[in-house]
Structure 1
């Protein structure tokens, strides 16, 4: 009887040993969310203000005071803010303010600030596009002017804590829209 119990226990231990020698179960690696956005379609926006531009048809535009605009991207929780100012022999001051906004407010959190000059002599639009990498409050800014009468600034803000890696797909999409806006800007 003892031999039968030892035999059964030996067989059970052997089975337990064989069954337990499988490959270890590993957890699946963390997946990354893939964000696909629709291909941008653009249309000209024009109203009583002294400038017009192309904007993404999926965005929602709201006029603020003094020909300023908020262009909302509800799916991405982002907004492009446009500000318009009339040049009154103060172009140097306006340019300095636009550059200070970029450098003084963003240098602490930015990894790099890249400048991309913009010149369109046919439409008399001159400006600068700033691409800010890192966890700054905004990753894209621009200013555009004709140097005589008109001055427009724009910046992109997301309704989330700045984390450059996580907003990169949306930031890239909205930055392209803002660049298109700047490139299609016309004075009336």
Structure 2
């Protein structure tokens, strides 16, 4: 009986031959079309180039939404006039709005933006982590105009999942800032 059990066990173990297949580590690869820009042509005191993938929605007081339906994302732009020495409070509000996300953010690198030819000065904040927004910025001429912008996705923040789209849209924001001009 003992030899029969030994023979059955030997047959079972020798007949099971699992081939080990090593799988390479992989991640979801999302590719987006190369950006193609056009003049936004907005009836506001400012203009900029926008990605043709976005649709522009004009709100009250030259507040705009750049909607990216394929990515379920929106860049919200708000315009304020600089008057009565309110530049300090506008800057404070823009920076406070950004740093309110430090609870969920892992890192908030700042990139200073200076374009003296177009009189555009500002800051771009890239917000890394599971924060509600992935980028914030402001731009001003320090005398008359002040624009702020925020990037939001229409989904629960999961930085790993939205990272490729966030990088793509951060580049669009950078291009928007580079092409921003004031109308007189």
Give me the whole-angstrom Cα distance separating, in 1, the residues matched to 2:116 and 2:59: 29
Deviations along 1:84-139, whole A, 9 cap, x unmatched?
01111211111111111111x21111111111111111101111111111111111
Match of 1:95 among 91, 95, 104: 91
1:128 matched to 2:111? The reply is no
1:52 matched to 2:18? The reply is no
Task: Provide the secondary structure at the position in 1 that maps to 2:91.
Answer: helix
Residues paired across the two proteins, number: 178
User: What residue is the counterpart of 2:159 in the other structure?
Assistant: 164
Q: Highest CA radius of gyration, 1 or 2?
A: 1
TM-score for both structures, normalised by structure 2: 0.88
Deviation at 1:165, TM superposition (A): 1.1
Q: Which runs of 5+ in 2 are unaligned?
A: none
User: What residue is the counterpart of 1:66 in the other structure?
Assistant: 61
Task: Provide the secondary structure at the position in 2 that maps to 1:18.
Answer: helix
User: What residue is the counterpart of 1:178 in the other structure?
Assistant: 173
Which runs of 4 or more aligned residues in structure 1 lie more than 6 Å from their structure 2 counterparts after TM superposition?
25-30
Give me the whole-angstrom Cα distance separating, in 2, the residues matched to 1:101 and 1:148: 22
Cα RMSD for the two superposed structures: 2.2
Q: Which runs of 5+ in 1 are unaligned?
A: 1-5
TM-score for both structures, normalised by structure 1: 0.87
Task: Provide the secondary structure at the position in 1 that maps to 2:108.
Answer: strand
Deviation at 1:63, TM superposition (A): 0.5
